[in-house]
Amino acid sequence: QNEGGNSLPVGLDKFLDPGYGINPMAAIIAALCTLLLLWGVQESKTATNIISSTKVCLIIFMILAGFLLSSDVLPNSENTPASFSNWDPFIPPEYGPEGIVNGASILFFAYLGFDCICNLSGEAKNPVKDVPRAVIYTLVIDVVIYMLAALALTALLPYDQISPVSGFPRAFGANGWIWAEKLTAIGEICV
């Protein structure tokens, strides 16, 4: 059994983790991305748009489901950890304001959209005016999405129980939403 208590077939488990720090899935994904780029610009753009849209839909699902589970809208059993009371204390004393700044600086590079802005800036009719606006709009949208996702995740589970490897899937699993756990785990891997 792996860390989450699930077991994979022996052959698949051995393929996914052959040891020695080798990650065969990374090589497969890199090869597929290379083939997609070699296929053509239009196909690559279409694939990027599909993957980005799927990613945003998955994030919106995680946010809405997290807030829904944490509210009193759905009948929760007494032993589920989802609750808005998980936000107390809102800033954990062991991290403090410095922890917020550290987390924000790490997330800055994970923002969505910068790759699209950089790739499309050469095609802008008025790049001096349009590119800075696109960057600012992207930052504002991404900040709001990331803040809502962080709030939803910390409402699903107390901050000290959140998995550093797979936060949302494990949080849904801890709350008994196994289908959402599987959906978000597959989504994290695929997009």
pLDDT tens track of the chain, all 191 residues?
Answer: 445 555 667 777 777 777 888 888 888 888 988 888 888 878 888 888 898 899 999 999 999 999 999 887 777 656 688 889 999 988 888 989 898 888 877 776 666 556 666 666 677 788 888 888 887 887 888 889 889 999 999 999 999 999 988 899 999 999 989 999 999 998 888 77
The predicted structure's pLDDT at residue 29: 85
Count of other CB atoms within 10 angstroms of residue 67? 17
Whole-number Å distance between alpha carbons of 170 and 54: 20
Nearest CA among 2, 54, 4 for reference residue 166: 4
pTM over 0.85: no
Whole-number Å distance between alpha carbons of 51 and 57: 10
Q: Are 145 and 59 in contact (CB under 8 A)?
A: yes
**CA distance between the termini of the chain:** 25
Whole-number Å distance between alpha carbons of 64 and 160: 22
The predicted structure's pLDDT at residue 5: 55
The predicted structure's pLDDT at residue 78: 61
3-state secondary structure of 164: coil
Q: Both tokens of residue 149?
A: 């996702």
